Amino acid sequence: MGEITRRGYRLEWFIGDHSPRHVHVYDSKGRFIGRLDIQAMRGIEGWKPSRKLIKVIEELRSEGRL
């Protein structure tokens, strides 16, 4: 399992988890927000991520953290 906190989001991912490649997103209070497909950059199950979250994911990808 991996976990990182950045800009008020806590992101978790599991090695060998099912497709699509995604992260579980929690707010700063630990409340589950949704799951984000990090290849397509869209929410799973109809959830729409904020632009702020998309920027965080893009940062992490460019740093090689995701």
First to last CA, the chain: 12
Q: Distance from CA of residue 56 to its chain's centroid? A: 8
Q: What is the pLDDT of residues 1-36, one digit of tens each?
A: 889 999 999 999 888 777 888 999 999 999 999 999
Closest CA to 21 of 44, 4, 5, 3: 44
d(CA 18, CA 64): 21
d(CA 12, CA 1): 7
How much is the pLDDT for 23?
Answer: 93
> Other C-beta atoms within 10 Å of 53: how many?
22
How much is the pLDDT for 4?
Answer: 93
